[in-house]
Structure formats: C-alpha cells, structure tokens
C-alpha cells in the first residue's frame, strides 16, 4: 500500500520536504496544507514587493505546474485546526478531514510584536512575513507618498512616518482589495 504523507505548512521547510519525499518515494501521495494563499515564495523578497519592484508571481519559488509535475497536492487557504493522532487524521476549520500515514509539521513562525510602553500594538506596529503583509504595509507606508525611496530617506533620517500611516488608516482604505 502506498504511503500518504501530509505536510502542514508550505514554507521552504514543508515544500522542500515534499520535494525530497517525492525523490525517494515516487508512488506516495503527498499533500501540503497551508493557510497561505500562494505557493512557496521567497520571503526575503517581500520588502521588494512592498517597494513595488516585483509582483507576487515574480517571487514564487515554484509555479502551479511544478506541483502538478511532482504530483504534490497543494491545499491553499486551509487552516488546520486539530490533529487526531489516534485515527491519523488532520481536521480543517471547515470540518473536513484527511488521513495520513506520516505527518510532518512545518508550521514555521509568526511575527513577534514586543510590548513597548507608548506604542499601540494594534495600530502602530506592522509585521512583514507574508505577501499580504507586504502589500498592506507597502500601501500604508507608500500609498501617500508614492515612492519607496522617499520612505527610505525618511527612515534614514529617523523621521516620524506615523502621520502617513494615520492618513491612510483613517481614509476609505480598502484592505480587502490588497488581499486579492
């Protein structure tokens, strides 16, 4: 009977694990589940996305064809809610479940926002970990001044850029549009 590998997380760890499992087990069923909206992309290039130097597609590591060619099923937009170890299944937030022979957790990390007196952590602090973060932060920082180099210059001078963020946050800023 062929193995069914489930990998949680489509970051570099999960995706490269899938690539190597495929090398040693050509007949295995390989499924990657991720809450991400995109296939693996280069996180170090998210700042370039913020600066609008690249599009999201340009920072993809593997395109859809690669997953197809390697028979790796990529389940995007799926949040894994729990793992039933006894029955060897994972359960998604929509209630659906999938069985595995082997399970790999490659769920990475999330940005840590330290609590600092005087800073409103829900409004003033942005983390930069995903394509959506890059788009939202880019729009908030750059939407008003329209030039990545401007913000760089302001930051070099340690200028206060919060007024730009305030302006955008208080306007009819369409965050949903950026998530498309």
Rounded to whole angstroms, the Cα distance separating 179 from 19 reads 28
Burial class (CB in 10 A: 0-12, 13-18, 19+), 32: buried
Q: Compute the least distance from the CB of residue 88 to ligand FAD, in Å.
A: 17
At CA 31, angle to CA 130 and CA 39, rounded to 5? Answer: 25
Q: Which is nearer to ligand FAD, 48 or 166 (CB)?
A: 48
- Per CB under 6 A, which region of 56-64, 76-84, 161-169, 171-179 contacts ligand FAD? 76-84
Which residue from 107, 148, 150, 154 is in contact with ligand FAD, where contact means CB under 6 A? 107
Question: Do residues 151 and 141 make contact, with C-beta atoms less than 8 angstroms apart?
Answer: yes
Q: For residue 12, how far is the Cα from the chain centroid? A: 11
Q: Compute the least distance from the CB of residue 13 to ligand FAD, in Å.
A: 3
Task: Work out whether 103 is an interface residue with ligand FAD (CB under 6 A).
Answer: no
Decide the pairing of beta strands 29-33 and 72-75. Answer: parallel
Q: Compute the least distance from the CB of residue 151 to ligand FAD, in Å.
A: 16
Give me the residues that bind ligand FAD (CB under 6 A), please: 8-14, 33-36, 43-44, 46-47, 78-80, 106-109, 128-129
């Amino acid at each position: 009977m062929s193995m069914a590998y489930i990998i949680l997380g489509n970051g570099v760890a999960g995706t490269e694990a899938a690539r190597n499992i495929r090398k040693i087990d050509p007949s295995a069923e390989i499924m990657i589940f991720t809450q991400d909206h995109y296939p693996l992309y280069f996180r170090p290039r998210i700042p370039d996305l913020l600066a609008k130097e690249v599009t999201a597609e340009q920072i993809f590591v593997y395109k859809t064809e690669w997953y197809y060619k390697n028979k790796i099923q990529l389940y995007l937009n799926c949040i894994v809610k729990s793992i039933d170890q006894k029955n060897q299944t994972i359960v998604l937030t929509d209630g659906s479940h999938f069985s595995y022979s082997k399970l790999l957790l490659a769920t990475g990390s999330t940005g840590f926002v330290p609590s600092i007196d005087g800073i409103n952590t829900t409004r003033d602090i942005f983390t930069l970990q995903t394509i959506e973060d890059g788009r939202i932060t880019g729009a908030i920082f750059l939407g008003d001044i329209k030039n990545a180099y401007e913000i760089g210059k302001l930051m070099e001078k340690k200028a206060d850029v919060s007024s730009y963020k305030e302006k955008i946050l208080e306007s009819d800023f369409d965050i949903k549009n950026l998530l498309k």
